[in-house]
Amino acid sequence: MKFVMNGCLIIGTMDGANVEIAEEIGESNMFIFGHKVDGVAEIRSQISEGKRNYVGTRLQKVFDSIYNGVFGDVHVMHPILHSLSNGGDYYITCFDFYSYIDA
Protein backbone atom coordinates (compact mmCIF):
# COMPACT_ATOMS: atom_id res chain seq x y z
CA MET A 1 0.00 0.00 0.00
CA LYS A 2 2.92 2.30 0.67
CA PHE A 3 4.09 1.88 -2.89
CA VAL A 4 0.71 3.01 -4.22
CA MET A 5 0.98 6.24 -2.29
CA ASN A 6 4.24 6.85 -4.11
CA GLY A 7 2.71 6.27 -7.54
CA CYS A 8 3.59 2.62 -8.16
CA LEU A 9 1.46 0.28 -10.22
CA ILE A 10 -0.37 -2.63 -8.63
CA ILE A 11 -0.79 -5.87 -10.51
CA GLY A 12 -2.46 -8.69 -8.67
CA THR A 13 -5.45 -10.88 -8.07
CA MET A 14 -8.52 -9.47 -6.38
CA ASP A 15 -7.95 -10.92 -2.94
CA GLY A 16 -6.34 -10.01 0.35
CA ALA A 17 -4.98 -6.49 0.61
CA ASN A 18 -5.78 -5.77 -3.04
CA VAL A 19 -9.49 -5.73 -2.18
CA GLU A 20 -8.85 -3.04 0.42
CA ILE A 21 -6.62 -1.07 -1.92
CA ALA A 22 -9.27 -1.22 -4.68
CA GLU A 23 -11.82 0.19 -2.25
CA GLU A 24 -9.55 3.19 -1.65
CA ILE A 25 -8.14 3.90 -5.11
CA GLY A 26 -10.64 2.17 -7.41
CA GLU A 27 -10.17 -1.07 -9.30
CA SER A 28 -9.70 0.88 -12.54
CA ASN A 29 -6.41 2.16 -11.12
CA MET A 30 -5.03 -1.36 -10.72
CA PHE A 31 -4.02 -4.12 -13.08
CA ILE A 32 -6.18 -6.99 -11.88
CA PHE A 33 -5.83 -10.47 -13.32
CA GLY A 34 -7.20 -13.88 -12.50
CA HIS A 35 -10.53 -15.20 -11.42
CA LYS A 36 -12.88 -13.74 -8.84
CA VAL A 37 -13.97 -15.76 -5.79
CA ASP A 38 -16.81 -17.59 -7.58
CA GLY A 39 -14.49 -18.54 -10.45
CA VAL A 40 -11.89 -19.88 -8.03
CA ALA A 41 -14.46 -22.12 -6.38
CA GLU A 42 -15.56 -23.49 -9.77
CA ILE A 43 -11.99 -24.17 -10.88
CA ARG A 44 -11.12 -25.91 -7.61
CA SER A 45 -14.19 -28.06 -8.06
CA GLN A 46 -13.11 -28.99 -11.61
CA ILE A 47 -9.62 -29.88 -10.39
CA SER A 48 -11.00 -32.06 -7.59
CA GLU A 49 -13.21 -33.81 -10.17
CA GLY A 50 -10.12 -34.71 -12.22
CA LYS A 51 -9.55 -31.86 -14.69
CA ARG A 52 -5.89 -32.00 -15.73
CA ASN A 53 -5.62 -30.29 -19.14
CA TYR A 54 -5.28 -26.79 -17.79
CA VAL A 55 -1.59 -25.92 -18.24
CA GLY A 56 -1.79 -24.75 -21.85
CA THR A 57 0.88 -24.48 -24.53
CA ARG A 58 2.66 -21.29 -23.44
CA LEU A 59 2.87 -22.27 -19.79
CA GLN A 60 3.98 -25.78 -20.76
CA LYS A 61 6.93 -24.17 -22.60
CA VAL A 62 7.88 -22.44 -19.35
CA PHE A 63 7.55 -25.73 -17.44
CA ASP A 64 9.67 -27.52 -20.08
CA SER A 65 12.40 -24.91 -19.76
CA ILE A 66 12.43 -25.40 -16.01
CA TYR A 67 12.41 -29.22 -16.39
CA ASN A 68 15.38 -28.90 -18.78
CA GLY A 69 17.45 -26.97 -16.24
CA VAL A 70 17.44 -23.61 -17.99
CA PHE A 71 16.85 -21.82 -14.67
CA GLY A 72 18.87 -23.98 -12.31
CA ASP A 73 18.43 -27.06 -10.17
CA VAL A 74 15.55 -29.14 -11.53
CA HIS A 75 15.39 -31.32 -8.43
CA VAL A 76 13.92 -28.47 -6.41
CA MET A 77 11.29 -27.40 -8.94
CA HIS A 78 10.32 -30.75 -10.48
CA PRO A 79 8.00 -31.83 -7.64
CA ILE A 80 6.32 -28.41 -7.60
CA LEU A 81 5.69 -28.41 -11.35
CA HIS A 82 4.49 -32.01 -11.24
CA SER A 83 2.03 -31.11 -8.50
CA LEU A 84 0.80 -28.00 -10.33
CA SER A 85 0.23 -30.02 -13.51
CA ASN A 86 -1.52 -32.91 -11.80
CA GLY A 87 -4.24 -31.46 -9.64
CA GLY A 88 -2.19 -29.73 -6.96
CA ASP A 89 -2.86 -26.20 -8.20
CA TYR A 90 -4.88 -25.07 -5.16
CA TYR A 91 -4.08 -21.41 -5.77
CA ILE A 92 -4.98 -21.80 -9.49
CA THR A 93 -1.59 -20.47 -10.56
CA CYS A 94 -1.81 -22.18 -13.94
CA PHE A 95 -5.29 -20.83 -14.58
CA ASP A 96 -4.25 -17.25 -13.76
CA PHE A 97 -1.03 -17.36 -15.80
CA TYR A 98 -2.59 -16.24 -19.07
CA SER A 99 -4.59 -13.37 -17.63
CA TYR A 100 -1.41 -12.30 -15.78
CA ILE A 101 0.45 -12.16 -19.10
CA ASP A 102 -2.41 -10.13 -20.61
CA ALA A 103 -2.42 -7.71 -17.67
* Other beta carbons within 10 Å of 59: 18
Which tens digit of pLDDT belongs to each residue from 14-43? 888 888 888 988 889 899 999 887 889 999
What pTM was computed for the model? 0.75
pLDDT of residue 54 exceeding 70, the answer is yes
Domain boundaries defined on the chain: 52-103
Nearest alpha-carbon partner for 44 in 83, 81, 92: 92
pLDDT at 9 over 90: no
